[in-house]
Amino acid sequence: MPQTVEIAFQGLKARAQSTAVILVEPNKKLAGWAKKLDKATGGQINRALSSADFKGKARTSLDIPGIDDEQIGRVVAVGVGDVDELEEKDWVMLGGMIAGQLSSRRVRSASVIAECASVDTGKKMAPNAAALAFGAQLRCYAFEAYKADAKNDESRPAVLEQISFHVGDEKQTTADYGALDAVGQGVALARDLVNEPANRLGPIEFADRCAALAEVGCEVEIWDAEKCEEERFHSLLAVAQGSARPARVAIMRWNGAKSKRTKPVCFIGKGVVFDTGGISIKPAGGMEDMKGDMGGAACVTGLMHTLAARRAPVNAVGLVGLVENMPSDRAMRPGDVIDSRAGKTIEVLNTDAEGRLVLADLLAYAEETYNPKFMVNLATLTGAIMVALGREYAGMFSNDDGLSGDLSDAGFATGERVWRLPLDKGYDKLIDSKVADMKNIGGRLGGSITAAQFLQRFVTDTPWAHLDIAGVAFDSPKSEINPSWGSGWGVRLLDRMVQDKYES
Ligand code: BES
Ligand code: MN
Ligand code: ZN
Protein backbone atom coordinates (compact mmCIF):
# COMPACT_ATOMS: atom_id res chain seq x y z
CA MET A 1 0.00 0.00 0.00
CA PRO A 2 1.22 3.51 -0.74
CA GLN A 3 2.15 5.81 2.08
CA THR A 4 -0.75 8.19 2.55
CA VAL A 5 -1.56 10.88 5.03
CA GLU A 6 -4.55 10.77 7.32
CA ILE A 7 -6.74 13.78 6.73
CA ALA A 8 -9.34 15.20 9.12
CA PHE A 9 -11.54 18.31 9.19
CA GLN A 10 -12.34 20.34 12.28
CA GLY A 11 -14.01 23.61 13.10
CA LEU A 12 -12.02 26.82 13.58
CA LYS A 13 -12.74 26.75 17.31
CA ALA A 14 -11.39 23.22 17.78
CA ARG A 15 -8.14 22.71 19.62
CA ALA A 16 -5.22 22.87 17.19
CA GLN A 17 -2.14 20.67 17.26
CA SER A 18 1.17 22.00 18.47
CA THR A 19 2.36 22.71 14.92
CA ALA A 20 -0.08 24.96 13.07
CA VAL A 21 0.08 26.24 9.51
CA ILE A 22 -1.42 29.66 8.89
CA LEU A 23 -2.18 31.06 5.44
CA VAL A 24 -1.03 34.63 4.88
CA GLU A 25 -2.31 36.88 2.12
CA PRO A 26 -0.16 39.71 0.76
CA ASN A 27 -0.84 43.18 2.20
CA LYS A 28 -3.44 41.88 4.60
CA LYS A 29 -3.37 41.99 8.35
CA LEU A 30 -3.65 38.75 10.27
CA ALA A 31 -7.29 37.91 10.88
CA GLY A 32 -9.42 35.45 12.77
CA TRP A 33 -7.57 32.52 14.31
CA ALA A 34 -4.08 33.84 13.53
CA LYS A 35 -4.90 37.29 14.90
CA LYS A 36 -6.11 35.75 18.15
CA LEU A 37 -2.93 33.72 18.54
CA ASP A 38 -0.86 36.80 17.79
CA LYS A 39 -2.69 38.71 20.53
CA ALA A 40 -2.36 35.84 22.99
CA THR A 41 1.41 35.76 22.45
CA GLY A 42 1.95 39.48 22.76
CA GLY A 43 2.37 40.02 19.02
CA GLN A 44 4.87 37.24 18.47
CA ILE A 45 3.54 36.20 15.07
CA ASN A 46 3.45 39.68 13.58
CA ARG A 47 6.90 40.45 14.93
CA ALA A 48 8.33 37.29 13.32
CA LEU A 49 6.61 38.01 10.01
CA SER A 50 7.84 41.58 9.82
CA SER A 51 11.38 40.91 10.99
CA ALA A 52 11.68 38.22 8.30
CA ASP A 53 10.04 40.62 5.84
CA PHE A 54 7.46 37.94 5.10
CA LYS A 55 4.80 39.36 2.82
CA GLY A 56 2.57 36.40 2.03
CA LYS A 57 3.76 36.09 -1.54
CA ALA A 58 2.60 32.87 -3.17
CA ARG A 59 4.97 29.92 -2.71
CA THR A 60 6.88 31.45 0.21
CA SER A 61 6.89 30.19 3.78
CA LEU A 62 8.28 31.09 7.19
CA ASP A 63 8.90 28.81 10.13
CA ILE A 64 8.16 30.43 13.51
CA PRO A 65 9.23 28.12 16.31
CA GLY A 66 9.15 28.83 20.02
CA ILE A 67 5.63 30.22 20.22
CA ASP A 68 4.69 31.29 23.76
CA ASP A 69 1.39 29.53 23.97
CA GLU A 70 0.38 26.50 25.96
CA GLN A 71 -1.24 24.88 22.94
CA ILE A 72 0.76 26.04 19.92
CA GLY A 73 4.51 25.52 19.91
CA ARG A 74 5.30 26.30 16.30
CA VAL A 75 3.65 28.19 13.46
CA VAL A 76 4.48 27.73 9.81
CA ALA A 77 3.28 30.72 7.81
CA VAL A 78 2.56 29.99 4.17
CA GLY A 79 2.05 32.71 1.58
CA VAL A 80 -1.02 32.19 -0.55
CA GLY A 81 -1.00 35.17 -2.88
CA ASP A 82 -4.27 36.92 -3.59
CA VAL A 83 -7.03 34.55 -2.46
CA ASP A 84 -9.61 36.02 -4.85
CA GLU A 85 -7.43 35.08 -7.79
CA LEU A 86 -6.99 31.44 -6.84
CA GLU A 87 -8.70 28.79 -8.92
CA GLU A 88 -9.44 25.30 -7.75
CA LYS A 89 -6.25 23.90 -9.22
CA ASP A 90 -4.26 26.58 -7.37
CA TRP A 91 -5.76 25.46 -4.07
CA VAL A 92 -4.79 21.90 -4.91
CA MET A 93 -1.20 23.01 -5.62
CA LEU A 94 -1.15 25.04 -2.41
CA GLY A 95 -2.26 22.00 -0.41
CA GLY A 96 0.58 20.05 -1.98
CA MET A 97 3.04 22.80 -1.15
CA ILE A 98 1.92 22.87 2.50
CA ALA A 99 2.33 19.11 2.82
CA GLY A 100 5.77 19.41 1.21
CA GLN A 101 6.78 22.17 3.64
CA LEU A 102 5.66 20.12 6.62
CA SER A 103 7.42 16.94 5.55
CA SER A 104 10.68 18.65 4.66
CA ARG A 105 10.60 20.12 8.18
CA ARG A 106 10.10 16.59 9.47
CA VAL A 107 6.71 17.34 10.98
CA ARG A 108 4.61 14.23 11.55
CA SER A 109 1.31 15.79 12.47
CA ALA A 110 -0.08 19.32 12.12
CA SER A 111 -3.12 21.55 11.98
CA VAL A 112 -3.68 23.68 8.89
CA ILE A 113 -5.79 26.73 9.71
CA ALA A 114 -7.65 26.92 6.41
CA GLU A 115 -9.76 29.90 7.37
CA CYS A 116 -9.31 31.93 4.19
CA ALA A 117 -10.09 28.81 2.14
CA SER A 118 -13.43 28.37 3.84
CA VAL A 119 -14.82 31.85 4.20
CA ASP A 120 -17.76 32.51 1.93
CA THR A 121 -16.93 35.47 -0.28
CA GLY A 122 -19.91 35.01 -2.55
CA LYS A 123 -18.08 32.52 -4.75
CA LYS A 124 -18.43 28.85 -3.94
CA MET A 125 -15.74 28.79 -1.26
CA ALA A 126 -16.38 25.63 0.68
CA PRO A 127 -14.71 23.36 -1.92
CA ASN A 128 -11.45 25.29 -1.65
CA ALA A 129 -10.59 23.82 1.72
CA ALA A 130 -11.35 20.38 0.33
CA ALA A 131 -9.11 21.10 -2.66
CA LEU A 132 -6.34 22.06 -0.23
CA ALA A 133 -6.65 18.71 1.53
CA PHE A 134 -6.76 16.92 -1.83
CA GLY A 135 -3.45 18.51 -2.84
CA ALA A 136 -1.90 17.40 0.43
CA GLN A 137 -3.10 13.86 -0.17
CA LEU A 138 -1.58 13.78 -3.67
CA ARG A 139 1.71 15.12 -2.34
CA CYS A 140 1.98 12.59 0.48
CA TYR A 141 2.06 9.61 -1.88
CA ALA A 142 5.21 7.51 -1.58
CA PHE A 143 6.07 4.20 -3.21
CA GLU A 144 8.09 2.34 -0.63
CA ALA A 145 6.91 -1.22 -1.15
CA TYR A 146 10.45 -2.50 -1.67
CA LYS A 147 12.41 -0.40 0.77
CA ALA A 148 12.75 -2.95 3.52
CA ASP A 149 14.83 -0.59 5.65
CA ALA A 150 12.75 2.51 5.06
CA LYS A 151 11.44 2.60 8.62
CA ASN A 152 14.94 2.64 10.10
CA ASP A 153 16.47 5.00 7.57
CA GLU A 154 17.39 8.21 9.41
CA SER A 155 18.31 10.15 6.28
CA ARG A 156 14.92 9.67 4.74
CA PRO A 157 12.52 12.62 5.05
CA ALA A 158 10.09 12.05 7.87
CA VAL A 159 6.70 11.02 6.70
CA LEU A 160 3.82 13.29 7.41
CA GLU A 161 1.22 11.09 9.05
CA GLN A 162 -1.71 13.30 9.87
CA ILE A 163 -3.13 16.73 8.98
CA SER A 164 -6.23 18.34 10.45
CA PHE A 165 -7.69 21.13 8.38
CA HIS A 166 -9.50 23.68 10.50
CA VAL A 167 -12.29 25.15 8.43
CA GLY A 168 -15.36 27.37 8.66
CA ASP A 169 -17.86 24.72 7.62
CA GLU A 170 -16.61 21.37 8.77
CA LYS A 171 -19.64 19.39 7.56
CA GLN A 172 -19.66 20.90 4.09
CA THR A 173 -15.91 20.49 3.63
CA THR A 174 -16.02 16.87 4.75
CA ALA A 175 -18.76 16.24 2.19
CA ASP A 176 -16.85 18.07 -0.56
CA TYR A 177 -13.74 16.08 0.26
CA GLY A 178 -15.48 12.73 -0.12
CA ALA A 179 -15.42 12.79 -3.92
CA LEU A 180 -11.88 14.19 -4.02
CA ASP A 181 -10.68 11.47 -1.68
CA ALA A 182 -11.96 8.94 -4.22
CA VAL A 183 -9.98 10.72 -6.94
CA GLY A 184 -6.88 10.68 -4.76
CA GLN A 185 -7.27 6.94 -4.26
CA GLY A 186 -7.55 6.43 -8.02
CA VAL A 187 -4.42 8.50 -8.65
CA ALA A 188 -2.50 6.54 -5.99
CA LEU A 189 -3.62 3.26 -7.55
CA ALA A 190 -2.50 4.39 -11.01
CA ARG A 191 0.86 5.55 -9.62
CA ASP A 192 1.37 2.28 -7.80
CA LEU A 193 0.74 0.26 -10.96
CA VAL A 194 3.21 2.35 -12.97
CA ASN A 195 5.86 2.25 -10.23
CA GLU A 196 5.72 -1.53 -9.78
CA PRO A 197 8.64 -3.28 -11.48
CA ALA A 198 7.72 -5.65 -14.30
CA ASN A 199 8.99 -8.78 -12.55
CA ARG A 200 6.34 -8.18 -9.91
CA LEU A 201 3.56 -6.88 -12.10
CA GLY A 202 3.01 -9.07 -15.15
CA PRO A 203 -0.29 -9.37 -17.04
CA ILE A 204 -1.68 -11.78 -14.46
CA GLU A 205 -0.79 -9.64 -11.46
CA PHE A 206 -2.14 -6.53 -13.18
CA ALA A 207 -5.39 -8.36 -13.93
CA ASP A 208 -5.60 -9.33 -10.25
CA ARG A 209 -5.41 -5.64 -9.33
CA CYS A 210 -8.27 -4.97 -11.75
CA ALA A 211 -10.30 -7.82 -10.26
CA ALA A 212 -9.93 -6.16 -6.84
CA LEU A 213 -12.12 -3.31 -8.10
CA ALA A 214 -15.06 -5.57 -7.27
CA GLU A 215 -14.49 -4.32 -3.70
CA VAL A 216 -15.62 -0.82 -4.66
CA GLY A 217 -18.57 -2.13 -6.68
CA CYS A 218 -17.25 -2.64 -10.22
CA GLU A 219 -18.23 -5.67 -12.25
CA VAL A 220 -14.96 -7.12 -13.47
CA GLU A 221 -14.38 -9.63 -16.22
CA ILE A 222 -10.90 -11.10 -16.74
CA TRP A 223 -10.05 -12.87 -19.99
CA ASP A 224 -7.23 -15.37 -20.20
CA ALA A 225 -5.32 -15.95 -23.44
CA GLU A 226 -7.74 -18.65 -24.52
CA LYS A 227 -10.71 -16.30 -24.22
CA CYS A 228 -8.73 -13.65 -26.14
CA GLU A 229 -8.27 -16.22 -28.90
CA GLU A 230 -12.00 -17.02 -28.88
CA GLU A 231 -12.74 -13.31 -29.19
CA ARG A 232 -10.34 -13.11 -32.15
CA PHE A 233 -7.91 -10.70 -30.45
CA HIS A 234 -5.20 -11.80 -32.90
CA SER A 235 -3.37 -8.53 -32.98
CA LEU A 236 -3.12 -8.24 -29.17
CA LEU A 237 -2.05 -11.88 -28.91
CA ALA A 238 0.67 -11.39 -31.53
CA VAL A 239 2.38 -8.97 -29.11
CA ALA A 240 2.02 -11.35 -26.18
CA GLN A 241 3.28 -14.43 -28.02
CA GLY A 242 6.97 -13.77 -27.38
CA SER A 243 6.52 -13.75 -23.62
CA ALA A 244 6.34 -16.69 -21.23
CA ARG A 245 3.71 -14.70 -19.35
CA PRO A 246 0.34 -15.01 -21.10
CA ALA A 247 -1.92 -12.09 -22.02
CA ARG A 248 -4.90 -10.90 -20.07
CA VAL A 249 -7.72 -8.50 -20.88
CA ALA A 250 -9.58 -6.89 -17.99
CA ILE A 251 -12.99 -5.28 -18.42
CA MET A 252 -14.21 -3.14 -15.53
CA ARG A 253 -17.77 -1.86 -15.48
CA TRP A 254 -19.33 0.73 -13.23
CA ASN A 255 -23.09 1.12 -13.57
CA GLY A 256 -23.93 4.26 -11.65
CA ALA A 257 -26.56 5.78 -13.95
CA LYS A 258 -30.25 5.46 -13.08
CA SER A 259 -30.79 3.03 -15.91
CA LYS A 260 -28.52 0.14 -16.73
CA ARG A 261 -29.43 0.74 -20.35
CA THR A 262 -27.94 4.25 -20.55
CA LYS A 263 -25.03 4.12 -23.01
CA PRO A 264 -21.71 3.93 -21.22
CA VAL A 265 -18.66 6.12 -21.55
CA CYS A 266 -15.66 3.99 -22.43
CA PHE A 267 -11.95 4.10 -21.58
CA ILE A 268 -9.29 1.87 -23.07
CA GLY A 269 -5.70 1.50 -21.90
CA LYS A 270 -2.44 0.15 -23.33
CA GLY A 271 -1.07 -2.24 -20.72
CA VAL A 272 2.33 -3.39 -21.95
CA VAL A 273 3.81 -4.44 -18.61
CA PHE A 274 7.26 -4.31 -20.18
CA ASP A 275 8.30 -3.23 -23.65
CA THR A 276 11.67 -4.60 -24.73
CA GLY A 277 10.76 -3.78 -28.32
CA GLY A 278 10.54 -7.50 -29.12
CA ILE A 279 12.73 -8.74 -31.98
CA SER A 280 13.17 -5.07 -33.02
CA ILE A 281 14.81 -4.76 -29.63
CA LYS A 282 15.35 -1.41 -27.93
CA PRO A 283 18.81 -0.10 -26.94
CA ALA A 284 19.83 -0.91 -23.36
CA GLY A 285 20.07 2.70 -22.10
CA GLY A 286 16.91 3.66 -20.25
CA MET A 287 15.09 0.47 -21.14
CA GLU A 288 14.10 0.07 -17.48
CA ASP A 289 11.59 2.88 -18.00
CA MET A 290 9.57 0.50 -20.14
CA LYS A 291 8.13 -1.00 -16.96
CA GLY A 292 5.88 2.06 -17.21
CA ASP A 293 4.53 1.13 -20.65
CA MET A 294 1.25 0.23 -19.00
CA GLY A 295 0.57 3.85 -17.97
CA GLY A 296 -2.58 3.96 -20.09
CA ALA A 297 -3.99 0.84 -18.47
CA ALA A 298 -2.98 2.17 -15.03
CA CYS A 299 -4.94 5.36 -15.67
CA VAL A 300 -8.03 3.46 -16.81
CA THR A 301 -7.88 1.24 -13.72
CA GLY A 302 -7.38 4.20 -11.37
CA LEU A 303 -10.23 6.06 -13.06
CA MET A 304 -12.65 3.14 -12.76
CA HIS A 305 -11.75 2.89 -9.07
CA THR A 306 -12.48 6.59 -8.65
CA LEU A 307 -15.83 6.53 -10.46
CA ALA A 308 -16.98 3.57 -8.36
CA ALA A 309 -15.59 4.89 -5.07
CA ARG A 310 -17.39 8.20 -5.46
CA ARG A 311 -20.54 6.48 -6.75
CA ALA A 312 -20.53 8.56 -9.93
CA PRO A 313 -23.98 8.72 -11.59
CA VAL A 314 -22.74 7.41 -14.91
CA ASN A 315 -22.31 4.10 -16.70
CA ALA A 316 -18.67 3.52 -17.53
CA VAL A 317 -16.60 0.70 -18.91
CA GLY A 318 -12.83 0.42 -18.78
CA LEU A 319 -10.90 -2.08 -20.88
CA VAL A 320 -7.20 -2.81 -20.58
CA GLY A 321 -5.01 -5.04 -22.73
CA LEU A 322 -2.25 -6.61 -20.63
CA VAL A 323 0.75 -8.11 -22.42
CA GLU A 324 4.51 -8.24 -22.31
CA ASN A 325 6.55 -7.45 -25.43
CA MET A 326 9.51 -9.86 -25.42
CA PRO A 327 11.93 -11.26 -27.99
CA SER A 328 12.00 -15.05 -28.05
CA ASP A 329 11.77 -18.02 -30.39
CA ARG A 330 8.02 -17.59 -30.31
CA ALA A 331 7.97 -13.83 -30.82
CA MET A 332 6.49 -12.18 -33.90
CA ARG A 333 9.04 -11.15 -36.50
CA PRO A 334 9.40 -8.06 -38.68
CA GLY A 335 7.62 -8.90 -41.90
CA ASP A 336 4.97 -11.09 -40.26
CA VAL A 337 1.41 -10.50 -41.36
CA ILE A 338 -1.08 -10.79 -38.50
CA ASP A 339 -4.86 -10.74 -38.23
CA SER A 340 -7.05 -8.59 -36.02
CA ARG A 341 -10.49 -8.76 -34.48
CA ALA A 342 -11.80 -6.24 -37.01
CA GLY A 343 -10.79 -8.63 -39.81
CA LYS A 344 -8.08 -6.28 -41.09
CA THR A 345 -4.58 -7.64 -41.67
CA ILE A 346 -1.42 -5.93 -40.44
CA GLU A 347 2.12 -6.20 -41.74
CA VAL A 348 4.40 -5.90 -38.73
CA LEU A 349 7.47 -4.02 -39.90
CA ASN A 350 8.72 -3.14 -36.43
CA THR A 351 7.83 -5.23 -33.41
CA ASP A 352 8.49 -2.21 -31.20
CA ALA A 353 5.37 -0.52 -32.58
CA GLU A 354 3.33 -2.91 -30.43
CA GLY A 355 1.01 -0.60 -28.49
CA ARG A 356 -1.20 0.07 -31.51
CA LEU A 357 -1.55 -3.70 -32.03
CA VAL A 358 -2.87 -4.08 -28.49
CA LEU A 359 -5.28 -1.17 -28.82
CA ALA A 360 -6.63 -2.14 -32.26
CA ASP A 361 -8.54 -5.18 -30.98
CA LEU A 362 -9.75 -3.39 -27.84
CA LEU A 363 -11.14 -0.46 -29.85
CA ALA A 364 -12.93 -2.73 -32.31
CA TYR A 365 -14.37 -4.86 -29.53
CA ALA A 366 -15.46 -1.95 -27.34
CA GLU A 367 -17.23 -0.09 -30.13
CA GLU A 368 -19.07 -3.18 -31.28
CA THR A 369 -19.95 -4.51 -27.84
CA TYR A 370 -20.88 -1.40 -25.86
CA ASN A 371 -21.95 1.13 -28.49
CA PRO A 372 -20.51 3.74 -26.10
CA LYS A 373 -21.21 7.50 -25.96
CA PHE A 374 -17.51 7.92 -26.68
CA MET A 375 -14.24 6.06 -26.43
CA VAL A 376 -11.05 7.56 -25.03
CA ASN A 377 -7.92 5.46 -25.25
CA LEU A 378 -4.70 6.23 -23.39
CA ALA A 379 -1.31 4.87 -24.34
CA THR A 380 2.39 5.50 -23.85
CA LEU A 381 2.44 5.08 -27.60
CA THR A 382 5.28 6.99 -29.22
CA GLY A 383 8.63 8.52 -28.34
CA ALA A 384 7.81 11.06 -31.05
CA ILE A 385 5.12 12.71 -28.92
CA MET A 386 7.85 13.79 -26.48
CA VAL A 387 9.82 15.33 -29.33
CA ALA A 388 6.72 17.31 -30.27
CA LEU A 389 5.27 18.29 -26.89
CA GLY A 390 7.82 17.53 -24.18
CA ARG A 391 6.44 16.53 -20.80
CA GLU A 392 3.85 19.25 -20.16
CA TYR A 393 1.04 18.26 -22.50
CA ALA A 394 -0.21 14.89 -23.67
CA GLY A 395 -0.94 14.53 -27.38
CA MET A 396 -4.61 14.29 -28.32
CA PHE A 397 -6.05 12.97 -31.57
CA SER A 398 -9.79 12.88 -32.13
CA ASN A 399 -12.47 12.38 -34.72
CA ASP A 400 -14.86 14.61 -32.74
CA ASP A 401 -14.63 18.34 -31.94
CA GLY A 402 -17.06 18.11 -29.02
CA LEU A 403 -15.16 15.34 -27.27
CA SER A 404 -11.77 16.94 -27.85
CA GLY A 405 -13.12 20.27 -26.59
CA ASP A 406 -14.40 18.60 -23.42
CA LEU A 407 -11.00 17.00 -22.86
CA SER A 408 -9.18 20.31 -23.40
CA ASP A 409 -11.47 22.06 -20.90
CA ALA A 410 -10.97 19.38 -18.27
CA GLY A 411 -7.23 19.59 -18.95
CA PHE A 412 -7.07 23.28 -18.12
CA ALA A 413 -9.30 22.86 -15.07
CA THR A 414 -7.13 20.12 -13.57
CA GLY A 415 -3.71 21.00 -14.95
CA GLU A 416 -3.49 17.68 -16.83
CA ARG A 417 -3.39 19.35 -20.21
CA VAL A 418 -3.81 17.88 -23.68
CA TRP A 419 -2.89 19.39 -27.05
CA ARG A 420 -4.72 18.37 -30.19
CA LEU A 421 -2.75 17.20 -33.20
CA PRO A 422 -4.20 16.38 -36.62
CA LEU A 423 -5.73 13.29 -38.08
CA ASP A 424 -5.90 13.54 -41.86
CA LYS A 425 -6.45 11.27 -44.83
CA GLY A 426 -3.19 12.61 -46.25
CA TYR A 427 -1.21 10.83 -43.54
CA ASP A 428 -3.17 7.68 -43.99
CA LYS A 429 -1.32 6.52 -47.09
CA LEU A 430 1.89 6.37 -45.03
CA ILE A 431 0.61 3.20 -43.36
CA ASP A 432 -0.75 1.45 -46.47
CA SER A 433 0.99 -1.87 -47.06
CA LYS A 434 1.79 -3.73 -50.26
CA VAL A 435 1.08 -7.14 -48.73
CA ALA A 436 -1.56 -6.47 -46.05
CA ASP A 437 -4.32 -3.95 -45.26
CA MET A 438 -1.85 -1.77 -43.39
CA LYS A 439 1.61 -1.73 -41.88
CA ASN A 440 2.32 -0.94 -38.24
CA ILE A 441 4.81 1.90 -38.82
CA GLY A 442 4.66 4.93 -41.06
CA GLY A 443 8.26 5.96 -41.54
CA ARG A 444 10.38 8.65 -39.92
CA LEU A 445 8.07 11.65 -40.16
CA GLY A 446 5.00 12.37 -38.05
CA GLY A 447 5.44 9.23 -35.95
CA SER A 448 2.75 10.10 -33.40
CA ILE A 449 0.29 11.01 -36.15
CA THR A 450 0.76 7.81 -38.16
CA ALA A 451 0.27 5.83 -34.93
CA ALA A 452 -3.02 7.68 -34.40
CA GLN A 453 -4.06 7.09 -38.04
CA PHE A 454 -3.45 3.39 -37.44
CA LEU A 455 -5.76 3.38 -34.41
CA GLN A 456 -8.43 5.31 -36.28
CA ARG A 457 -8.72 2.45 -38.75
CA PHE A 458 -10.23 0.39 -35.93
CA VAL A 459 -12.93 2.92 -35.01
CA THR A 460 -15.96 3.41 -37.25
CA ASP A 461 -18.36 6.17 -36.18
CA THR A 462 -18.12 6.51 -32.41
CA PRO A 463 -16.73 9.79 -31.03
CA TRP A 464 -13.20 8.81 -30.11
CA ALA A 465 -10.04 10.38 -28.75
CA HIS A 466 -6.57 8.92 -28.47
CA LEU A 467 -4.28 10.38 -25.81
CA ASP A 468 -0.58 9.71 -26.36
CA ILE A 469 0.76 9.93 -22.80
CA ALA A 470 4.37 8.77 -23.38
CA GLY A 471 5.69 12.11 -22.10
CA VAL A 472 3.50 12.50 -19.04
CA ALA A 473 2.81 9.04 -17.57
CA PHE A 474 6.21 8.66 -15.92
CA ASP A 475 9.41 10.56 -15.29
CA SER A 476 7.59 13.84 -15.82
CA PRO A 477 8.69 16.89 -13.80
CA LYS A 478 8.02 16.55 -10.08
CA SER A 479 5.49 19.08 -8.83
CA GLU A 480 3.85 20.26 -5.62
CA ILE A 481 1.34 17.47 -6.03
CA ASN A 482 3.44 14.80 -7.68
CA PRO A 483 6.51 13.40 -5.93
CA SER A 484 6.28 10.09 -7.80
CA TRP A 485 8.00 8.62 -10.88
CA GLY A 486 4.70 7.18 -12.06
CA SER A 487 2.48 10.26 -12.16
CA GLY A 488 -0.97 8.69 -12.29
CA TRP A 489 -1.61 11.09 -15.17
CA GLY A 490 -5.15 11.19 -16.58
CA VAL A 491 -7.22 10.07 -13.62
CA ARG A 492 -7.98 13.63 -12.56
CA LEU A 493 -8.48 14.76 -16.17
CA LEU A 494 -10.97 12.06 -17.11
CA ASP A 495 -12.79 12.07 -13.80
CA ARG A 496 -13.33 15.79 -14.29
CA MET A 497 -14.50 15.43 -17.87
CA VAL A 498 -17.00 12.75 -16.87
CA GLN A 499 -18.22 14.77 -13.91
CA ASP A 500 -18.64 18.01 -15.85
CA LYS A 501 -20.15 16.65 -19.05
CA TYR A 502 -21.57 13.14 -18.70
CA GLU A 503 -23.21 12.71 -15.32
CA SER A 504 -26.97 12.66 -15.00
N1 BES B 1 6.36 2.27 -25.55
C2 BES B 1 7.00 2.84 -26.68
C3 BES B 1 6.91 4.37 -26.69
C4 BES B 1 7.61 5.08 -25.57
C5 BES B 1 8.93 5.45 -25.68
C6 BES B 1 6.92 5.43 -24.44
C7 BES B 1 9.56 6.10 -24.65
C8 BES B 1 7.53 6.10 -23.41
C9 BES B 1 8.85 6.44 -23.50
C10 BES B 1 6.37 2.30 -27.97
O11 BES B 1 5.91 1.01 -27.90
C12 BES B 1 7.43 2.36 -29.00
O13 BES B 1 8.38 1.65 -28.86
N14 BES B 1 7.24 3.19 -30.01
C15 BES B 1 8.19 3.32 -31.07
C16 BES B 1 7.43 3.35 -32.36
C17 BES B 1 8.30 3.20 -33.57
C18 BES B 1 8.93 1.82 -33.61
C19 BES B 1 7.46 3.44 -34.80
C20 BES B 1 8.95 4.61 -30.84
O21 BES B 1 8.35 5.59 -30.40
O22 BES B 1 10.15 4.63 -31.10
MN1 MN C 1 7.44 -0.41 -28.32
ZN1 ZN D 1 5.38 0.32 -26.03
- The set of residues, in sequence order, having a beta carbon less than 8 Å from that of 307 and lying 6+ positions away, is 254, 256, 314, 316, 495, 498
Residues, CB within 5 angstroms of ligand 2 (ion)? 275, 352, 354
Pick the atom of ligand 1 nearest to 382's CA: 21
- Give the C-alpha separation, 221 to 210, whole Å: 9
Assess whether 356 carries a catalytic annotation.
Answer: yes
- Predicted confidence at residue 148, as pLDDT, reads 83
d(CA 187, CA 198): 19
Distances (CA, A) of 30 to 20, 43, 45, 48, 112: 15, 11, 9, 12, 15
355 CA to middle of ligand 1, Å?
Answer: 8
Q: Identify whether the C-beta of residue 198 lies closer than 8 Å to the C-beta of residue 274.
A: yes
Quick one: pLDDT at residue 268? Answer: 99
282 a catalytic residue: yes
| Ligand 2 geometric centre to CA of 474 (Å) | 15
Q: Is the dihedral of CA 273, 277, 279, 282 positive or negative?
A: negative
Q: How far is CA 119 from CA 124, 284, 375, 379, 436, in A?
A: 9, 55, 40, 42, 65
> Which helix (H) or strand (E) element contains residue 78?
strand 74-79
Q: pTM for the whole thing?
A: 0.97
Nearest ligand 1 atom to the CA of 355 is: 11
Pocket of ligand 1 (CB under 6 A): 275, 293, 350, 352-355, 380-384, 441, 447, 470
| pLDDT of amino acid 122 | 54
Q: What is the pLDDT of residue 120?
A: 63
| Residue having the nearest C-alpha atom to atom 5 of ligand 1 | 383
What confidence score (pLDDT) does residue 432 get? 98
Pocket test for ligand 1, best of 352, 358, 475 (most atoms within 8 A of CB): 352
**The predicted structure's pLDDT at residue 121:** 55
pLDDT digits (tens, 9 = 90+) for 47-103: 999 999 999 999 999 999 999 999 999 999 999 999 999 999 999 999 999 999 999
Distance CA 337, CA 382 (A): 22
Cβ atoms of 286 and 338 closer than 8 Å: no
Distance 162 CA to ligand 2 centre (A): 42
pLDDT tens, the chain, 504 aa long = 556 899 999 999 999 999 999 999 998 999 999 999 999 999 999 999 999 999 999 999 999 999 999 999 999 999 999 999 999 999 999 999 999 999 999 999 999 999 999 876 555 556 899 999 999 999 999 999 898 876 666 666 567 999 999 999 999 999 999 999 999 999 999 999 999 999 999 999 999 999 999 999 999 999 999 999 999 999 999 999 999 999 999 999 999 999 999 999 999 999 999 999 999 999 999 999 999 999 999 999 999 999 999 999 999 999 999 999 999 999 999 999 999 999 999 999 999 999 999 999 999 999 999 999 999 999 999 999 999 999 999 999 999 999 999 999 999 999 999 999 999 999 999 999 999 999 999 999 999 999 999 999 999 999 999 999 999 999 999 999 999 999 999 999 999 999 999 998
Q: Which of 271, 295, 305 is nearest to 186 (CA)?
A: 305
Q: Whose CA is nearest to atom 7 of ligand 1?
A: 383
Q: Best of 288, 293, 346, 489 to mutate for ligand 1, by most ligand atoms within 8 A of CB?
A: 293
CA–CA separation, 388 and 395 (whole Å): 9
Catalytic residue among 263, 282, 311, 344: 282
Cβ-based neighbour number of residue 337 at 10 Å: 15
Provide the pLDDT for residue 438. Answer: 98
| Ligand 1: centre distance to CA 289 (Å) | 11
- Rounded to the nearest angstrom, the distance between the alpha carbon of 355 and the centre of ligand 2 is 6
Query: Containing H/E element for 486?
Result: none
**332 DSSP 8-state letter:** -
